[in-house]
Structure 1
């Protein structure tokens, strides 16, 4: 037993808000406490210690995080909780503000404090005096504030920044939407198009200093990896009770080098850092051995993986081939794909490998050229549309997900109309719509021509109505088709919450998209175990969800 553990064990619950990257962080934290001999429970009502893993991406996420922390603190009076700790992005970004605003929380722990959490909890439970703000520092080498006029570079494709540093950064004119509306055409060459999917350009911070791996024994290293004597992948507890779920998130990188003017994530997540190939493969094999049949690859920018490793982004094809070779793995899914970073070798490999889902989660954010440029991104309806059609040419079964921001500063009715036309022409399967949220310290917070909140909400509702019709159209295209599915849930005796056998195909990502209800020839819930594979035929739709008849159960 380590020095941080006490002879008394306790029950820990981790409440997770936000994205799949946070889910992985929570499983790592659960793994730390499990390794110390403590029980990890699902229900905070049953816990002695509650950790709230917060999100701070947009204003509603911040409010949800605050509300959840306050609810957890109430459990100290109404439940069995003896300690509540705040972790995650909000703890890293606003540690002192949280400590002052929510005195009921016992500690606010930033990323650098994660590895010491069992020790911190032990001190809290023993009544020892501690600093309420712990481990708030640079989460990765190069963490920096988000500000205006950051130096930018055109991201090199397939090359290591360490080996091929840019001769000089380019300063991007992103201080106002008005300046952005005079965007020059993006140059491209035939050689570029052999590598890049469509000649889009990713603007990033230049590598001011050589990138090096974190030294063994640092706080982040202790969290990310088990000791050198064993496989190097995170200490992680993906299953905390009940029937194991048949999928798992696999985080392949951390941080972000992009300078999107609406996003504060790089200010607290730090510079982009790829996990080495051997570590990713070791963790993937371990997850599959534990019952995962689908691995969902996540990071802030999945298409950046490899750029800071020897071999560069060309390693992405190798990563997918090596993962596909793992026995008992049925499906790989890539999330958070940046259009400006997509390369033809990656797209061709995704289309070629049967285990890689024909699922393209494109981070578009908007399609109108002036708005996209004001976001310090690259693209317009024509180039984004050509990219989608190019992917469909490589993979006719492709489905698409994307997110869009309505009400970005300077957005006009013409910009919204361009988005509506784009959606109608290309019919994406899954679309998330969000109103613009002013984020502290980001360039867009100071842009002129801020769109009134009520106008943004009206535009969001208008586009939402259109997209709802288009999503129904997209789902109806699957009627009559046969799909391979993995069962996610099944009815259990006495469980009224689960009345159907639910599965997912390549079309549906976990946590974000719809589901498939699988029935037998009599229309009853198909008798299939969680994790089972099956062939089904789609017979109906319910909104974006599918109803399918069991054709064949597979071992």
Structure 2
């Protein structure tokens, strides 16, 4: 039995690491803690408890997570915190091994501890060390739990599913989160309505491990297009943005939904990962270069003004110079407006972990630099074509260095990962406001505009 909260409401500060999917989990944790009587605070200096929601997708994320946890532990040892609790993917992936490695941590929670997080935190404050790590996570979360906003009020992420069915050989997510587990359409529509009514959300960003497979487990077929249709009917929503689509899952109904639903941004996050047929096969991507070409071509042909974001891995085992050249050639051909690249991280537990022909870190770095140099050139050329055009911009915040400049984004730009528009305006603009602007200058990734 968990002891009742003391008269002094314990203060919790949460550090959220990793992707937007983790951020949604962090908001759910804070919602549960707030409902249980804890006070959520903005800084560690104000807190009694540090709750670290971790990422473990690649080694770089693991290192960041462990370093963040150790920093919090150091504060506890200095008497500046009463307890440290660690949650999320790092805990789920390494389970008891992590618990043994970090005895200074007071509590551990896997990826599905939304209902028990308050008990774990209170037990940590009471000096009791507990770890709640289920071998098979109970996902997705059920019902309509409260979320505490960790984004600006005008945009929010809507997580539609957990887990994945694809089995890419570089990825450990199915081992952490399990197979695809979708939430019902009606639950997601209700959550979206609440986000709009309670927070004033103007932009909804749809996320999952593979959103193109959304609904297969519940309905026997993908239903992401049906979900977009339902979300598009909600009053008060300005933009709906779709992230994390597998190219193989881009079907005509998804294309038509993006094209025809007014609120859906003409934008798609489509991770190709590579474009050489042999590398794609070794990755188990289930698609060829020609298949990628056809999908990019359909999206461009069917949706005027389409913006495509992609993700690419360089240095996968067996990536020859010829294979890398094929990737560069495809990037030149496809001319993705937005691109993120990653150096392959050889992860224990992934199917590719023991593959021969591993690529050296030096060669990965060279290929990464060459790819990003090409993408900077493409992005700069695309941005230059926008000079003089009128674009609708959603304002995010005032520039901290200039009261007459406001930072915003076009519908072609996702928060955190894409470019900014620097709007020069003598009159005050407010976050969430949609403003018609004219582009007066361009950079590699960013734009300058005025109303």
Both structures adopt the same fold (TM-score exceeding 0.5): yes
**Contact in 1 for aligned 2:250/2:295 (Cα 8 Å):** no
CA distances 1:120-177 after superposition (whole Å, capped 9, x unpaired): 22122122x333x32332114xxxxxxxxxxxxxxxxxxxxxxxxxxxxxxxxxxxxx
What's the secondary structure of 2:144's corresponding residue? Answer: coil
Residue 505 of structure 1: aligned partner: 410
Pairing of 1:322-337 with structure 2 (within 5 A): 322-337=230-245
1:335-350 to 2 correspondence within 5 Å?
335-350=243-258
TM-aligned CA deviation for residue 353 of structure 1: 1.1
Partner of 1:545: 446
Q: Which residue of 1 aligns with 2:200?
A: 291
Which sections of structure 2, spanning at least 5 residues, go unmatched?
none
Extract structure 1 runs of 4+ deviating beyond 6 A.
none
CA distance in 1 between counterparts of 2:63 and 2:119 reads 29
Which of 365, 380, 391 aligns to 2:299? It is 391
Distance 1:497 1:540, change over 3 A: closer
Match for residue 477 of structure 1? 385
The Cα offsets for residues 290-314 of structure 1, whole Å up to 9 and x where unpaired, read as: 211000000001011111223622x
Greater Cα shift, 500-509 or 291-300 = 500-509
CA root-mean-square deviation: 1.9
Distance of 2:335 and 2:79 partners within structure 1: 48
| Equivalent of 2:315 in 407, 412, 435 | 407
Question: 1:61, CA displacement in angstroms?
Answer: 0.8
Give the equivalent residue in structure 1 for 2:263: 355
Tell me the SS of whatever aligns to 2:113. Answer: helix
Structure 1 position 139 matched with structure 2 position 44: no
Contact 1:5-1:36 within 8 A present in 2 as well? no
Q: 1:239 to 1:410 in 2, by over 3 A?
A: closer
Distance across 2 between alignment mates of 1:471 and 1:5: 56
Q: Does the C-alpha gap of structure 1 residues 440 and 311 become closer, same or farther in structure 2, counting only changes over 3 Å?
A: closer
Structure number with greater Rg is 1
SS in structure 2 opposite 1:528? coil
TM-score by length of 1: 0.78
TM-score, length of structure 2 as denominator length: 0.95
Distance 2:250 2:388 in 1: 32
Contact between 1:111 and 1:137, CA under 8 Å: does it hold in 2? no
Identify the residue that residue 196 of structure 1 maps to in structure 2.
Answer: none
Q: Displacement of 1:116 after TM fit? A: 1.4
Structure possessing the higher relative contact order (Cα contacts under 8 Å, 6 or more residues apart): 1
Number of aligned residue pairs: give it: 449
| Counterpart residue number, 1:238 | 149
Match of 1:468 in 2: 376
Secondary structure at the residue paired with 1:319? helix
1:368: Cα distance to partner? Answer: 0.4
Cα shift at 1:59: 0.9
1:140-539 maps to which residues of 2 (within 5 A)?
140=138, 224-225=141-142, 232-239=143-150, 244-289=152-197, 290-310=199-219, 312-313=221-222, 315-491=223-399, 496=401, 500-520=405-425, 526-539=427-440
